[in-house]
Amino acid sequence: MHLFRFIKSVNHEMKLVVWPTARENRRDTTIVISLTLFFVLFFALFDWLIQLLMKLFV
């Protein structure tokens, strides 16, 4: 019996959710992918520099 009440309340809450538009989804996805690529490149460069310095001093 509690399961049906739970499902009913979940359904009610889902109707209250304000879903993002397609434009907002594209914008947010672009931001996430851009930041991910930026940090991948940043840490790859940082790692390469550390390796270069380690080879010079060791």
Q: Is residue 17 very low, low, confident or very high in pLDDT (cuts 50, 70, 90)? A: very high
32 occurs within a structural domain: yes
CB of 27 closer than 8 Å to CB of 35: no
The answer to whether residue 50 scores a pLDDT higher than 80 is yes
What integer is the mean pLDDT of 45-49?
Answer: 98
6 occurs within a structural domain: no
45 occurs within a structural domain: yes
CA distances from 1 to 6, 9, 12, 13, 14 (A): 9, 13, 17, 19, 20
Give the pLDDT confidence score for residue 25 in this predicted structure. Answer: 98
The answer to whether residue 58 scores a pLDDT higher than 90 is no
Domain range for 51 is 24-57
Predicted structure pTM score: 0.67
Distance CA 28, CA 16 (A): 22
Distance CA 46, CA 30 (A): 24
8 occurs within a structural domain: no
CB of 28 closer than 8 Å to CB of 20: yes
Structurally, the chain folds into a number of domains equal to 1
